[in-house]
Amino acid sequence: MRRMKPLVNFVATLILMLAIACHGSEHGVNFNIFPLRMKTGSGGHYIPDVSCLSWRVGVEAHNIIDWKTVPQECEGYIGNYMLGDQYRADSKMVCAQAYLYAKTLNLTRDGRDIWVFDIDETALSNLPYYAHHGFGVEPFDRESFNEWVPLGIAPALPESLKLYNKLLSLGIKIVFLTGRPDHQREITAKNLKNVGYHTWKKLITKDPSYVGKTAVTYESAERKKLEEKGYRIIGNIGDQWSDILGTNTGNRTFKLPDPVYYIS
């Protein structure tokens, strides 16, 4: 279990609010991501680190690749970004552009036009997990993450959920393509439905035959299978470059922000 990070002083409040949201979901209330902002420094205002801002831009532009964890000196900056307003604003911009593109399409409405959604940090947010375990410094802890996923309480990324509903209204079918393994399929489906993703054409999880292969290889192969079955991938959105690189990526791809981890 990774240590609680001292810089996230208000995490207890966040966890409490999320616990309330989770309890509320039992009564039909969707989960939420609360736009909280970490504050530090004189006057209670967070002072951004210019070098860390440049690091984040380098990550999102794919100029920095194959990194394992957020640099120690940037953990506070990344935590502030993810829990603050800017992450939400950046996500909103991506999803707005995706919808503007979708509205320009001449759709056939034969049920073959699909939009591929990644799940983690795209459809669902693991922000509560990272708020508790930290936003960097130590390598990703797969064991603790695999304890978090079966809880099935990851909230929706609000901007992605809005895009999902708008795409459905246009007659576009949704396919979820995730790196989560097959044994997490049932809880993932339940989690998606609980937070508002009520329907989809397919939910593709990773079967054991892909163990040891890169995410690019796995996702390219699964997208190829979709196209071989006659589906047209008109859009593709994910938080990782591996979601939108490779083959059969679709007519247009969209990259959501994620400076917390990197998957090749």
Higher pLDDT, 203 or 3: 203
The whole-angstrom separation of Cα 217 and Cα 237 is: 17
Q: Percent of the chain at pLDDT above 70?
A: 80
Q: Where are the domains of the chain?
A: 11-255
Residues 6+ apart with CB under 8 A from 35: 84, 85, 88
Alpha-helical (H) ranges within 118-214 are 127-133, 142-148, 158-169, 185-194
pLDDT at residue number 18: 46
Q: Which CATH class is domain 11-255?
A: alpha beta
Q: What local confidence, expressed as pLDDT, does residue 33 receive?
A: 46
The pLDDT tens digits of the residues spanning 104-142 come to: 999 988 999 999 999 999 999 999 999 888 887 665 678
- The pTM of this model reads 0.83
